[in-house]
Amino acid sequence: MEASADQEWRGCVCSAALSFQADGSPCTARRADYIKLSFRSVHLYAVPIAVGISLAQVLTSHWILSNVVALAFAYNAISLLYLDSFATGFILLGGLFFYDVWCGRSSCRFRPRLSVLTRAARRAAGGSLAAKLSLEQAQT
Amino acid sequence: MVDVAKSFEAPIKIVFPKNLATASDFTLLGLGDIVLPGFVAACWR
């Protein structure tokens, strides 16, 4: 690929045909764009690094590589959506708070760290047998 | 519930060992605890 450093190559999968256009113009209007890909020269260096990290994570499943891949997922999720106002964010966090409180007491299997909450609550309850029993009843 | 997260071998959590030398006993952090405050933090931009 003889792209210069600041030139952007766009490719569109237009009706199952991959077409590259050097001027960055989109595909013609009468053909539907199913997938739109854009390549910059940064990707020449970034894509091999990303593929290497992913392959190393699959092959070794080392915890640092797993953290890198998980943080990449989190970064993608943050950049995929964005909130329009702070009120939405605070409603979201408040809902998450009550979800954690409610789901930490009952047996919710979808969030893995919730039994940590249950354990912390049980530890905080200490020798109080009634609190312990109510927590265990709520868990089963 | 922690057993579910530990048996599931996928990068869906941030893990850190309590003992760095042996890397045996891991603490977990779910990705939702990063992403949802990240949405609120992204509002500042």
ipTM: 0.83
A24 conformational bin, left if phi > 0, alpha if psi -120 to 50, beta if neither:
left
Confidence of residue B21 (pLDDT cuts 50, 70, 90): confident
pLDDT score for B19: 85
How many CA atoms lie less than 13 Å away from A7 in the CB half-sphere? 9
Nearest CB to B38 within list A78, A96, A116: A78
Q: What is the mean pLDDT of chain A?
A: 70
Burial class (CB within 10 angstroms; exposed 0-12, middle 13-18, buried 19+) of A82: exposed
Collapsed DSSP state (helix, strand, coil) of residue A36: strand
Confidence of residue A7 (pLDDT cuts 50, 70, 90): very low
Q: Is residue A140 predicted with pLDDT exceeding 70? A: no
Q: Which two tokens stand for residue A27?
A: 């595909």
Asked if A135 and A118 count as a contact pair (C-beta separation under 8 A), the reply is: yes
Residue that wins the pLDDT comparison between B3 and A39: A39
With beta carbons under 8 A apart, name residues in chain A contacting B2. 112-113, 115-116
Section B6-13 average pLDDT: 74
- CA torsion through residues A82, A83, A89, A95, sign: negative
Q: Give the phi and the psi of residue A37 in degrees, each rounded to 5.
A: -120, 145
Asked if A119 and A139 count as a contact pair (C-beta separation under 8 A), the reply is: no
Predicted confidence (pLDDT) per residue in A26-72, tens digit? 555 445 566 777 888 898 999 999 999 999 999 998 999 999 999 99
Which residues 7-36 of chain B have a CB within 8 Å of chain A? Answer: 8-9, 11-17, 23, 26, 28-36
AA letter at B38 = G
Q: For chains A and B, count residue pairs whose Cβ atoms are closer than 8 Å.
A: 85
Nearest CB to A67 within list B14, B36, B43: B14
Predicted confidence (pLDDT) per residue in A78-99, tens digit? 999 888 888 999 999 999 888 8
Q: Is residue A3 predicted with pLDDT exceeding 80? A: no
**Total-model pTM:** 0.59
